[in-house]
């Protein structure tokens, strides 16, 4: 039973690989957001803005009698109050009288000063300045009207007080009219004393009333002067002017913001897609999906191979390419398995279809043959055979023909032109019961016969998950290689396939990852390093040993020992 995939702690390199792998998603997100932003910008109706600046002045807090009362007023609160006044209905009514309507405006304080700005917006540039100036003028007029009303009310109250004082002065004469007459101080001493005291009181009262009357009259004169110069507590500092350019739309700013938002959205989308994507993308993913199983080969993606349905052996058509060298590296890795144990029958399978197992086997067969080993490639995929098409051969006679005794093995084997040491055994006519046929004793006998005639026998078998054929064949071979495709095979599928193979004690020796890109871990150095100057045409290294030398030396040693 395979252990479950271990969750590794991601590091910075993992995140960078995700961004590199999903760069097309990020670029597409940026382009979409940028295109939307530009389309909206150019379709949006231009809007203009004009601003008028008004200075607010504190109100006069002096009392009617001219004595100053120091009352603390919060400046910030006072400014906020006046801002609300500008938007009240009386001011809007004055604006309507001036320009016919009262569109909404924005009133904001200027820092910690007594200045406020009145900003008007409209699709008509000249209209914005008219609106802003109309609000400023209406507010100043409203404040002046308020100040005049306050002064008028104060003047009326003072005039009423003056009239009352004058009446009191006029009534003082009547207070002594009913007193007895003072003829002589000796004849009427009491009447004279009483009248003398009353006259003194009246004189004192008259003096007081005249003093108060003078003060009120002085304050009334001051109010009359103030009413002629009253400014209302506000003044226009900077009138609004007609703007030359609109403030909306702003294509450049929108484009910059769209690029930033597109990048953020693209990165988030890339990580979301990466999280939801269960496919194997590189060597690390494959090793985590099947713990304990080594990756013996990484085959790079072939850019000019457009269709997976097209049969192509790159080891024949382009023997100096990075892909051909990768198959030679895979061949060497498999040969090293023969150091401790005999490996002649090698099964190549995959978890599901369309993962490149037949392509891997065909190119691996060419690599073995070019190293000097007698190689036989056998098609045991009796459901969807394709091996014969890679070499342009006939499938009428093959594996099933030999099993049924219709054709001798020597007649069924087809040589590959240009490769003397490579023979192909096609599948032959497809049987109705492939699993039963592969589990028969005749299959075992045929495979042993092939192993006795060749150095390496490569067996192409069906995928593991759909059918049981590969599990049956795995009991007849020396080694099983599991092929996966980068970006296609899921971690769950390859884990299940390896688990099923190990449940039947299959000799699973390694995994091969097909279609590896530079982003997935296959470095671009391969295209520069593996050239005709470094790799010989027969697949041997420049060190002079040759790829098949290791296996040949081991066999020569066994013969000498025998």
pLDDT at 560 over 90: no
pLDDT tens digits, one per residue of 85-116: 888 898 999 999 999 888 999 999 998 888 99
Looking at 3.30.70.1130, 3.60.20.10, 2.60.120.10, 3.40.50.1100, the CATH number of the domain 48-238 comes to 3.30.70.1130
Question: Could you tell me which of 331, 217, 294 has the C-alpha nearest to residue 498?
Answer: 294
SS3 string, 225-285, reads HHHHHCCCCEEEEECCCCCCCCCECCHHHHHHHHHHHHHHHHHHHHHHHHHHCCECCCHHH
CA separation for the pair 296, 61 (Å, rounded): 94
pLDDT tens digits, one per residue of 460-504: 999 999 999 999 999 999 999 999 998 888 999 999 999 999 999
So what's the pLDDT on residue 516? Answer: 87
CA separation for the pair 227, 88 (Å, rounded): 25
Strand partners, 529: none
pLDDT tens digits, one per residue of 233-258: 688 889 999 998 888 888 888 999 99
Categorize the per-residue pLDDT at 306 as very low, low, confident or very high, splitting at 50, 70 and 90.
low
Q: Mean pLDDT of all residues in the chain? A: 82
The stretch 21-41 carries a mean pLDDT of 91
pLDDT at 226 over 70: no
pLDDT at 160 over 90: no
Q: Give CATH for domain 280-561.
A: 3.40.50.300
pLDDT at 124 over 70: yes
pLDDT at 214 over 90: no
pLDDT tens digits, one per residue of 432-457: 999 999 999 999 999 999 999 999 99
The stretch 174-202 carries a mean pLDDT of 70
pLDDT at 224 over 80: no
So what's the pLDDT on residue 196? Answer: 78
Report the range of poorest mean pLDDT among 23-32, 245-254, 387-396: 245-254
- DSSP structure string for 76-119: HHHHHHHHHHHTSHHHHHHHHHHHS-----EEEE-TTSSEEEEE
Delimit the domains of the chain by residue range: 19-44+249-275, 48-238, 280-561
């Amino acid at each position: 039973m395979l252990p479950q995939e271990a969750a590794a702690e991601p590091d910075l390199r993992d995140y960078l690989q995700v961004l590199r792998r999903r760069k097309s998603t990020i670029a597409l997100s940026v382009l979409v957001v940028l295109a939307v932003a530009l389309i909206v910008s150019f379709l949006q109706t231009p809007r203009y803005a004009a601003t008028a600046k008004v200075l607010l002045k504190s109100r006069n807090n002096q009392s009617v009698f001219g004595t100053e009362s120091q009352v603390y007023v919060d400046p910030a609160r006072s400014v906020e109050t006046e801002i609300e006044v500008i938007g009240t209905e009386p001011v809007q009514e004055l604006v309507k009288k001036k320009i016919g309507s009262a569109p909404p405006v924005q009133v904001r304080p200027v820092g910690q000063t007594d200045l406020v700005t009145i900003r008007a917006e409209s699709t008509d540039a000249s209209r914005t300045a008219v609106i802003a100036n109309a609000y400023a003028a209406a507010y100043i007029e409203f404040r002046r009207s308020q100040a005049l009303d306050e002064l008028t009310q104060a003047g009326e109250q003072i005039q009423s007080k003056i009239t009352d004082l004058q009446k009191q002065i006029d009534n003082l004469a009547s207070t002594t009219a009913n007193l007895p007459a003072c003829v002589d101080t000796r004849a009427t001493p009491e009447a004279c004393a009483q009248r003398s005291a009353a006259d003194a009181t009246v004189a004192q009262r008259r003096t007081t009333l005249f003093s108060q009357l003078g003060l009120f009259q002085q304050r009334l004169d001051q109010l009359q002067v103030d009413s002629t110069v009253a400014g209302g507590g506000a003044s226009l500092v900077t009138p609004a002017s007609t703007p030359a350019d609109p403030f909306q739309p702003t294509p450049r700013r929108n484009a910059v913001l769209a690029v930033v938002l597109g990048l953020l959205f693209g990165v988030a989308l890339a990580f979301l897609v990466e999280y939801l994507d269960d496919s194997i993308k590189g060597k690390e993913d494959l090793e985590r999906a099947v713990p304990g199983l080594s990756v013996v080969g990484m085959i790079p993606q072939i850019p000019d191979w457009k269709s997976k349905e097209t049969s192509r052996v790159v080891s024949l058509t382009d023997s100096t390419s990075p892909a051909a060298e990768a198959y030679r590296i895979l061949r060497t890795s498999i040969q090293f398995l023969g150091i401790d144990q005999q490996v002649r029958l090698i099964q190549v399978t995959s978890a599901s279809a369309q993962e490149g197992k037949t392509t891997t086997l065909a190119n691996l067969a060419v690599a073995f043959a070019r190293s000097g080993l007698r190689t036989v490639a056998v098609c045991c995929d009796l459901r969807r055979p394709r091996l014969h098409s890679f070499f342009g051969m006939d499938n009428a006679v093959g594996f099933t023909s030999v099993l049924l005794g219709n054709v001798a093995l020597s007649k069924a084997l087809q040589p590959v032109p240009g490769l003397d040491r490579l023979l192909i055994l096609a599948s032959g006519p497809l049987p109705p019961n492939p699993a039963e046929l592969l589990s028969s004793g005749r299959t075992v006998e045929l495979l042993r016969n092939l192993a006795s005639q060749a150095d390496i026998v490569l067996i192409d078998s069906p995928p593991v998950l759909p059918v049981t054929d590969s599990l049956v064949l795995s009991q007849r071979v020396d080694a099983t290689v599991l092929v996966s495709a980068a970006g296609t095979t899921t971690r769950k599928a390859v884990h299940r396939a390896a688990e099923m193979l190990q449940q039947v004690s299959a000799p699973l020796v390694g995994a091969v990852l097909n279609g590896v890109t530079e982003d997935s871990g296959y470095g671009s150095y391969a295209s520069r390093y593996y050239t005709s100057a470094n790799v010989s045409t027969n697949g041997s290294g420049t060190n002079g040993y040759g790829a098949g030398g290791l296996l040949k030396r081991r066999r020569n040693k066994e013969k000498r020992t025998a």
